[in-house]
Chains A and B, each alone.
Chain A
Amino acid sequence: MIAAAKLAKRFGAVEAVREVSLEAADGRVTGLLGPNGAGKTTTLRMISTLLAPTSGTVAVDGIDAARDPLAVRARIGALSDARGLYARLTARENIAYYGELRGLARSRVAESTARLAALLDLEPLLDRRTEGFSQGERMKVAIARALVHDPPNVILDEPTNGLDVMTTRNLRDAVRRLREAGKCVLFSSHVMQEVAALCDEIVIVAGGVVRAAGTPAALREAAGCEDLEEAFVRLSGAAPGAGP
């Protein structure tokens, strides 16, 4: 369960996020939808405690992120904007390193790796060094690495960026299975179809502000149109005449 209240982040003169509040519940997939530069990545970085908000609060499973960032990180598995792997290590070693950093026993790392490899279709890649991996393969390893400790909260920053159709489809299946397992999944995207296909709850952000939030059906109704993409365009303020 992730709750962000009135988050704002300023970099010098630039206000990357002005006011973002959202709640992502357990057992649901929450989508953070918005055009490029809307402040999605900055918001997710604040939630995963990599950035300190200029104002506002983040609570993960009731733990205040400003007070105990390490405890919050322990309850989150985050696929961040940067997803670099160690090219000279194998996929298995990349995953195991994060397991060790999270204090997992060796047996638990092995068990986790096997489970995630099955979930993400990674088995044939496990013992190869990651240097020759395709973008999709790297993404899968990065996700497995982020989820090695079986976190109750999963944050995915634009997970389908640069993936082909098949890999995207696999990823969606994986996300649905995470939801079935009762996890709180928060993911960002700038692709409407992506969010529409997966999310129980959508938060539309633009210009660092939440423009609309609700279930897909509620958003369609609020925008007064049947097409979700049209609703997105209207609600995100991209179309002329539209706005908060």
Chain B
Amino acid sequence: MIARVLAVFAKEVRDALRDRRTALMVLVASIVTGPVTLVLVAQFVSGLEERAAHLKVRMAGAEHAPALVNFLRRADVEIEKAPGDYAERVKAGRLDAVIVVPADFHERWLAHEDARVQLVFDDSRTESGPAIRQSSRLLEAFNRETAQLRLMARGVSPSLTESAKVDRVNAATPQQRGAVLLFIIPMFALLAPLLGGMTLAIDATAGERERGSLEPLLANPVPTAVLATGKWLAAWASASAVVAVTLAGFVTASRLFAERKLPALLQFGLPELGLFLVVVVPLAALTSAAQMLISTYGRSYREAQTYVSYLATAVTLVPLAVMFSGAREAPWQAAVPALGQLMALTRVLRGEGLGVQDALVPGAVALVLAVAAVAAVARLLRDERIVFGRS
């Protein structure tokens, strides 16, 4: 029996590899996914950090506020004169934030009167966020310093003004900050087996029937379970290979970034790759089996393709739905296919390590369901209506 399963497996793999164009397309897509994603994400993140790290404000009417300018200079902030049409520029997104000082500011400030500045910004654009926060924090700091100096001048302790002093400590390590953005890597890791198993799963079921090779195949003295198992193993192998290539792309890309000293986005090296494979390869068994089961129902190759693409949508939506439903992480979620894997992968990326249970529960669930799906395919292949078409 094992020899026959292997015969089916070998034939399907060979057949799939001979489909050069499809194989090459899948390969290229999976190789470039990692680098392209990381380049885009890294550019976005480093752009944000760069803007924030280099302190710089734009001012209009700086000459009316010598004290503020003095404060900013001491804080090592670069002051740039805002162009006259700053309002339009802010609106158009070419300027992040502008501090506007009216002509009477200095006199009023000296007189302890109601001295005002304007902070002009457009917070509908997220990338302006860091610059807006920076400017407003600097203004607050200027206020605090002025107030403290004035209180001291009157013999009042400055600590009176701040009953609770806030020290800002950002608990997110660079790695964690990366993981927030790189919710994307687990998502790709979940989608890779779908991409990798699809062609083979459809071709070996709906394709086999459409090309008229299913009937003669079934005339061989081989139980349908053997055929279904061989085909499934081939689809699983293909899915796993694509997963490995995709993730290897991420490893390579993250190495390249480490050299360029871009922010430590994520730790994604060989150990993480290994853990990812431990989690995703069992999932690939399930996705391939599910794709086969769905395709066996499809009346044609086309129809099977359509149904199978719904599966990809489901795999993407299940974790998202649970996340946005606000449900807290609960043990049962580990047993939900795709969601359990996503949770485990996120843990790996957060650097929290992968417990035996974290990998075992989703993996076992996936394998059990996969075997059930393969058994269902074997049963369908004994169904006359499925084999000879439904009328």
Q: Is B215 in the interface zone, CB < 8 Å from A?
A: yes
Q: Is B391 in the interface zone, CB < 8 Å from A?
A: yes
Docked complex Cα distance between A48 and B219 (Å) = 7
User: Contacts of B137 on A, CB cut-off 8 Å?
Assistant: none
User: Contacts of A129 on B, CB cut-off 8 Å?
Assistant: 18
Q: Is A18 in the interface zone, CB < 8 Å from B?
A: no
Q: Contact: A97 with B7, CB < 8 Å?
A: yes
Q: Is B187 in the interface zone, CB < 8 Å from A?
A: no
Q: Which of B211, B216, B388 contacts A78 (CB 8 A)?
A: B216
Docked complex Cα distance between A103 and B221 (Å) = 9
Q: Contact: B213 with A100, CB < 8 Å?
A: no
Q: Is B222 in the interface zone, CB < 8 Å from A?
A: yes
Beyond A52-B384, A97-B11, A101-B4, is A73–B215 a contact (Cβ under 8 Å)?
Answer: no
Closest to A145 in B: B216
Q: List residues of A (135-182) whose CB comes within 8 Å of B's CBs.
A: 142, 145-146
4 A-B pairs with least C-beta separation = A84-B212, A84-B213, A82-B212, A100-B7
Closest to B387 in A: A50
Q: Contact: B15 with A86, CB < 8 Å?
A: yes
Beyond A51-B384, A78-B219, A100-B4, is A86–B214 a contact (Cβ under 8 Å)?
Answer: no
Interface size on A, residues (CB 8 A): 36
User: Contacts of B218 on A, CB cut-off 8 Å?
Assistant: 50
For chain B, the bracket of interface size reads 20 to 34
Q: Contact: B221 with A142, CB < 8 Å?
A: no
Q: Is B88 in the interface zone, CB < 8 Å from A?
A: no
Closest to A52 in B: B384
Q: Contact: B221 with A146, CB < 8 Å?
A: no
Q: Is B42 in the interface zone, CB < 8 Å from A?
A: no
User: Contacts of A102 on B, CB cut-off 8 Å?
Assistant: 220-222
Q: Which of A49, A52, A80, A89 contacts B18 (CB 8 A)?
A: A89
Q: Can you add 20 more A-B contacts, CB < 8 Å, to A80-B219, A100-B3?
A: A48-B219, A49-B219, A50-B215, A51-B388, A52-B384, A73-B221, A81-B215, A82-B212, A82-B213, A84-B212, A84-B214, A86-B11, A88-B18, A89-B15, A97-B7, A100-B4, A100-B7, A101-B4, A102-B220, A103-B3
Q: Contact: B216 with A71, CB < 8 Å?
A: no
User: Contacts of B8 on A, CB cut-off 8 Å?
Assistant: 101
Beyond A52-B384, A89-B14, is A101–B222 a contact (Cβ under 8 Å)?
Answer: yes
Q: Is A126 in the interface zone, CB < 8 Å from B?
A: no
Residue numbers of B with Cβ under 8 A of A are 3-4, 7-8, 11, 14-15, 18-19, 208, 211-223, 384, 387-388, 391
Q: List residues of A (57-113) whose CB comes within 8 Å of B's CBs.
A: 70-71, 73-74, 76, 78-89, 93, 97-98, 100-103
Q: Contact: B14 with A82, CB < 8 Å?
A: no
> Could you list 14 examples of A-B contacts with CB < 8 Å?
A12-B391, A51-B384, A76-B219, A82-B216, A84-B213, A84-B214, A89-B14, A93-B11, A98-B216, A101-B217, A102-B220, A102-B222, A145-B216, A146-B216
Docked complex Cα distance between A103 and B2 (Å) = 11
User: Contacts of B212 on A, CB cut-off 8 Å?
Assistant: 82-84
Beyond A71-B221, A89-B14, is A101–B7 a contact (Cβ under 8 Å)?
Answer: yes
CB B86 to nearest CB in A, in angstroms, measures: 65
Docked complex Cα distance between A89 and B391 (Å) = 32
CB B299 to nearest CB in A, in angstroms, measures: 15
Docked complex Cα distance between A87 and B208 (Å) = 11
Closest to A142 in B: B216
CB A25 to nearest CB in B, in angstroms, measures: 22
Docked complex Cα distance between A102 and B219 (Å) = 10
User: Contacts of A86 on B, CB cut-off 8 Å?
Assistant: 11, 15, 211, 213
User: Contacts of B11 on A, CB cut-off 8 Å?
Assistant: 86, 89, 93, 97
Closest to B222 in A: A101
Q: Which of B4, B214, B223 contacts A82 (CB 8 A)?
A: B214
CB A151 to nearest CB in B, in angstroms, measures: 10
User: Contacts of B211 on A, CB cut-off 8 Å?
Assistant: 84-87
Docked complex Cα distance between A146 and B213 (Å) = 12
Docked complex Cα distance between A51 and B221 (Å) = 14
Q: Contact: B213 with A85, CB < 8 Å?
A: yes
CB A74 to nearest CB in B, in angstroms, measures: 4
Q: Which of B15, B19, B212, B213 has most A Cβ within 10 Å?
A: B213
User: Contacts of B4 on A, CB cut-off 8 Å?
Assistant: 100-101, 103
Docked complex Cα distance between A30 and B249 (Å) = 62
User: Contacts of A85 on B, CB cut-off 8 Å?
Assistant: 211, 213
CB B131 to nearest CB in A, in angstroms, measures: 58
User: Contacts of B19 on A, CB cut-off 8 Å?
Assistant: 88
Docked complex Cα distance between A86 and B213 (Å) = 7
Docked complex Cα distance between A89 and B14 (Å) = 8
Q: List residues of A (109-134) whose CB comes within 8 Å of B's CBs.
A: 129
Docked complex Cα distance between A9 and B299 (Å) = 23
Docked complex Cα distance between A23 and B389 (Å) = 29
User: Contacts of A71 on B, CB cut-off 8 Å?
Assistant: 221
